[in-house]
Structure 1
């Protein structure tokens, strides 16, 4: 793969472009916001403007709700021979692309599992994807050349390509990315009701638990809306767990002697399961915003 265009020069798009520059490829940078594209170019991410002839691969670094329309527009204009995206939702954008009549033989869905709570080109890092999973979700009609180029992009950025079905991907990120972001945001929002005397006691634990809540609200509204069913399923189960914990705490508060053993046992079980669950990801490569990144264009 010798030539690439990046559509969307936010955190993820600019980070991809910087990674490619380090590998000797100078991307063409396109963005509806000219200032963002020029900022990315000033960082050394590539050159602003469309190529004179189609590039090998165009990377659509736009929010999920814009993937299909962007793919259609760029295929019509002949920007590239093959296309991929980096949004954190796969089923809905691919279905919308099919409805618009996009050539899915030349498109491979993608999602680098990396990001930051900051957004925009100034937050970009050339090593953002090193060692991280990069999910690829080719449709059944995806051509071998398109799959190969999308795979090569992930590898050039230092990531580990992982092939998944679109629905499998969306269920996975609902659990490991989208629901955690929403829960972190809800927890952080409770701080708005805290007294100043209370907030000054905040330690590193609270900062760690709410770090990702600093992500762009508009972008994350798009992400959660695009993967609403899968997130709602995870959140429903979590709500049941929270409700049971609330009941146990209320019983302990109202009549500790009568409900002490049962209430304490329930809380201990919940905490112990949390320890076991945390152990399943301990030592794995840390995951950032998905893709968030994808839309911050992730």
Structure 2
């Protein structure tokens, strides 16, 4: 292990979870956040100690996507770490901001752990949050090999599996598997506002499963979706077209129109890694 110390800048759910996971592996963790209360709570949870300017082996920038470039520039000016990464769920915009601000891109490895909870803040953090989960790393042409190696070590220490992918490909992929699903869940959950007490009293686990992620922070998700707007809109257009066809089929008494969507749903669900009978799509690529 070459990572002996880490700075976690941003002590929300993801940052504090990473800090807890690193602490369990014996890494010295420094904590930083503009919200002093969040730092204190993360510290009380055992996530590390407050940062006082020490240089770390790696800095994990766990702030909203639109702030990543700014924080990277500030931390690099302070010489905070040898390697820098982030956990923002979109990549193209933060990378563009970093370039615009003149950041050192050789020591920066854009990242995104595909893990989370519907709750936010340090109190929701869990050391096992990333266990067995994919963690995207999006190195650029100027990324130093040692920085990438250190970022991969960070991912391993957190219990996740590194997936190397280009920034544009990443943003297109998460539009399909993360961002659009959140809006679909929100749309379903929003429809419950019109339901009466009898209907809601009959709600089962299926509804809870479908709407669970809709409980996420709306302001944070607004920023995430704004950073990946075109790709997400394309996925929503395809989903809306399928639903429109299904609605038309139901109105006209044509069961085949609905059955086709149901069968395609079964097939698509079977492609999700971890689903029984699914072959891991990353298995043949080394991702």
Q: Secondary structure of 1:280's match?
A: coil
The residue aligned with 1:7 is 9
The residue aligned with 2:280 is none
CA distance in 1, matches of 2:107, 2:237: 37
Larger relative helix fraction: 1
Shift, 1:50, TM fit: 2.9
Deviation string, structure 1 residues 189-232 (Cα, Å, up to 9, x no partner): 00111111211111111111000101111111111111111101
The residue aligned with 1:43 is 45
| Contact 1:58/1:84, CA 8 A, preserved across alignment | yes
Q: Which moved more, 1:239-248 or 1:26-35?
A: 239-248
CA distance in 2, matches of 1:283, 1:25: 30
The residue aligned with 2:183 is 182
Q: CA RMSD in A?
A: 1.2
Shift, 1:284, TM fit: 4.6
Deviation string, structure 1 residues 273-295 (Cα, Å, up to 9, x no partner): 1011111116359xxxxxxxxxx
| Contact 1:50/1:79, CA 8 A, preserved across alignment | no
Asked if residue 280 in structure 1 is aligned to residue 281 in structure 2, the reply is no
Name the TM-score, length of structure 2 as normaliser.
0.93
Deviation string, structure 1 residues 133-183 (Cα, Å, up to 9, x no partner): 111001110011211111110000111111000011111111111100110
The residue aligned with 2:212 is 211
Asked if residue 59 in structure 1 is aligned to residue 60 in structure 2, the reply is yes
CA distance in 1, matches of 2:98, 2:231: 20
Shift, 1:57, TM fit: 0.8
**Which structure 1 residue ranges, 4+ long, deviate > 2 Å from structure 2?**
49-52, 282-285
| Contact 2:7/2:51, CA 8 A, preserved across alignment | no
Shift, 1:51, TM fit: 3.1
The residue aligned with 2:202 is 201
| Contact 1:28/1:51, CA 8 A, preserved across alignment | no
CA distance in 2, matches of 1:26, 1:44: 11
Equivalenced residue count is 274
| Contact 2:22/2:29, CA 8 A, preserved across alignment | yes
Deviation string, structure 1 residues 9-44 (Cα, Å, up to 9, x no partner): 011100100011111112110000000001000000
Taking the TM superposition and a 5 Å limit, the aligned residue runs for 1:102-251 are 102-251=103-252
From the superposition, tell whether residues 206 and 223 of structure 1 become closer, same or farther in structure 2 (CA, over 3 Å): same
Q: Secondary structure of 2:67's match?
A: helix
From the superposition, tell whether residues 188 and 102 of structure 1 become closer, same or farther in structure 2 (CA, over 3 Å): same
From the superposition, tell whether residues 284 and 57 of structure 1 become closer, same or farther in structure 2 (CA, over 3 Å): farther
Shift, 1:49, TM fit: 2.2
CA distance in 1, matches of 2:177, 2:102: 32
- Which residues of structure 2 form unaligned runs of 5+? 277-287
| Contact 1:27/1:45, CA 8 A, preserved across alignment | yes
* Aligned counterpart in structure 1 of residue 30 of structure 2, from 28, 31, 37: 28
The residue aligned with 1:84 is 85
Structure with more contact order per residue of length (Cα contacts < 8 Å, sep ≥ 6): 1
* Aligned counterpart in structure 2 of residue 266 of structure 1, from 257, 268, 281: 257
The residue aligned with 1:16 is 18
CA distance in 1, matches of 2:106, 2:172: 24
